[in-house]
Amino acid sequence: MTARIIVGMSGGVDSSVAALLLRDAGNDIAGLFMQNWAEDDTQQGTGTGGACRAEDDRRDAVAVAGRLGIPIHFRDFSREYWDGVFTHFIAEYAAGRTPNPDVLCNREIKFKHFLDAARELGAQRIATGHYARVRREGAHWQLLRARDRGKDQSYFLHQLGQQQLAATLFPLGDLPKSDVRAIARDAGLPTAEKKDSTGICFIGERDFRAFLGQYLPAREGEMRTPDGRRVGTHPGVFYFTLGQREGLQIGGVRGFDAAPWYVVGKDVGDNVLIVAQGADTPYLRSSRLCSEPAHWIAGAPPAQRFRCTAQTRYRQHEEPCDVTIDDNGQLDIHFDRPQRAVTPGQSVVLYAGEVCLGGAVIARTDAPLEQHARGVAA
């Protein structure tokens, strides 16, 4: 018989408990393990972690399925991941921006190719271990924040649409992470104590610079202050993002105090990394951003101009703002108070209370160095 629900099983504790809860609720389920990254011969053994520990994760997913007594399927989406996620990731870094591959992975792989594979297997719905909730309100489906705000993943899911939400279950949306661990231990699941994955999947535990250097060759350049004074060298502007402190290796510099240094800008054309001292430097502050065309979960924005709250990075506190949408669907967002290190390439995600409205990729801000580069008076 065909399972009515296919659970995306990653080999982690969250997807394991999602499958357990659905099974115990009497649902007819099966698992599906997705391979999203394939190493070539030159990458095997690089660094310390391999890519996503895919074989270990696969074994764990099989072990959980066996424990639950459910069938499990396997699909290789590595080519789709390369074309739909990874090439964009590299192109964004080459342009000096900082992309968010998790957002693209959810849109292109987990809620597109995985959903298609589940339907080919005859399933009516899919389920994942994401911390978020879905609610039907009238004729529309809404994406809601998880009850556990510390684990809420709606930020990464803001590119989903009505068809995807109508076909998706998030069994963990009402649970705190501590309860998820306890449920896994009580059920004797082999993933109960497994460490949560962090960072970018295809990099795993490897050194980020070493990995990126395989696709964007390193080119040493100067680190300068906003007024042009040289304070050190860098191994490549691609390896740094706005607000970053780690890895600068700037020691005592004559004429400057001992305050820590932060990345405040990148000049990719001249291969210059711009740095300034102090976490609260005004060079990292912006009150306005403009985005690429936005995606709306309901299919359309609530209005052409409206107030809401927004996040410009994961786990940031939501910030009140005014949103204006231009004729091309791009957002012009003014925050009530200045924001720190708003980064082009990352996503701005909009909320009305617990409801995620949608979001867009950040294109530019009114941070001082960005305005100067565009010839705009600060």
118-132: b or e for each residue (b if 16 or more CB lie within 10 Å)? beeeebebbbbbbbb
User: CA 117 to CA 369: how far, in whole Å?
Assistant: 46
Which among 201, 290, 321, 356 is annotated as catalytic?
201
Burial (CB < 10 A; 0-12, 13-18, 19+), residue 338, is: middle
Q: What are phi and psi of 301, to 5 degrees?
A: -75, 160
User: CA 126 to CA 32: how far, in whole Å?
Assistant: 10
* Token pair 């870094």: residue: 93
Q: Please say if 201 is a catalytic residue.
A: yes
Q: Please say if 105 is a catalytic residue.
A: yes
Q: What distances in angstroms separate CA 318 from CA 99, 334, 335, 336, one per listed residue?
A: 20, 13, 11, 11
Q: Can you state the angle between helices 177-186 and 13-24, rounded to 10 degrees?
A: 70
In which region does residue 255 sit, left (phi positive, over 0), alpha (psi from -120 to 50) or beta (all else)?
left
Can you tell me whether residue 352 is helix, strand or coil? strand
In 3D, which of 287, 273, 206, 282 has the Cα closest to residue 245?
273
One-character DSSP codes across 271-302: TEEEEEESTT-GGGEEEEEEEEEPEETTSS-S
Question: Which residues does the annotation mark as catalytic?
Answer: 105, 201
